[in-house]
A = this chain, B = another copy of it.
Amino acid sequence: MPGTVGAAMRHACTGGKRLRAFLVLEGARLHGIATGTALWPAAAIEAMHAYSLVHDDLPAMDDDDLRRGQPTVHIAWDEATAILAGDALQALAYELAARPEAGSEATRAALALSLAQAAGARGMVLGQALDIAAETAETPLTLDEITTLQQGKTGALFEWSAMAGPRMADADPAPMREYARAFGLAFQIADDILDIEGDEKATGKRVGKDGAAGKATFVSLLGLETARARAAELANAACAALDGYGPDADNLRAAARFAISRRT
């Protein structure tokens, strides 16, 4: 089992779009941080995201058997391995963000602190808790409640990723935060659309689960066309937040547009 936990951690980190790492790397490049330095927080956020998926897929949580086109960790191994692999991936995230290679002591203290706040009970875990609670709630969530849920579940790590570059450069993180906030919501609306229109082979995960569970989504609340329009507006707002960076930020703009056109 000990070697097993390492294997399960690697399994959980395989595949995926690496979108959060991309946000770290592009945000760092925009602020003059070397890629070799930025790779450490980029790896950190992918470890954090992987942990959240492993625990979210557990039977007591979302109970999913397919993720990134592979069996989930508790299916490929067992629940104890999935709990421990997730726990160790969370620890690994802080280790990667705090290692000397990630920058000055001030940078690493700031990265570790902000990462803990993004991942914890007021960030990602809050989003997960709202999501689980929604499954058994008597009334479906409102648009405001779903927005809060998603800002925790997806938004907190998106914002941390986008803000890592300015944090490492001691620059104003506000434009990147605004970009990430709009991008994260656009991404999540697109996710809800994919849950209706996507196919499992392309997305690598089960689709149609939210609708089948009667969960309120952006699509169920707004309707498909309005949801699509809202996602496009948000993608535009994300791009506009980057105006100050000029054409250097074109990769980030392309990512925001990709978020709403993706099939996976």
A: residues with CB less than 8 A from B are: 1-2, 4-6, 9, 51, 55, 58, 60-61, 78-81, 83-84, 86-88, 90-95, 97-99, 104-106, 108-110, 112-113, 115-117, 119-121, 123, 125-126, 128-130, 132-133
Contacts and interface: CB of A to CB of B under 8 A. Distances in A.
**Residue in A55, A110, A125 with the greatest tally of chain B CB atoms within 10 Å:** A125
Contacts of A112: 94, 97-98, 108-109, 112-113
Contacts of A110: 105
A2 B88 contact: no
Contacts of A93: 116
A83 B98 contact: no
A91 to B, nearest CB: 3
Contacts of A125: 5, 84, 87-88, 91
Contact of A58 (B2, B83, B90): B83
B55 A83 contact: yes
A1 B129 CA distance: 6
Nearest to A87: B125
A133 B95 contact: no
Given A5-B121, A80-B60, A116 B91 contact: yes
Contact of A61 (B80, B97, B106): B80
B105 A1 contact: no
Given A109-B105, A109-B109, A120 B1 contact: no
A160 to B, nearest CB: 12
Contact of A94 (B80, B116, B123, B126): B116
Contacts of A4: 129, 133
A132 B87 CA distance: 15
A112 B112 CA distance: 7
A95 B117 CA distance: 6
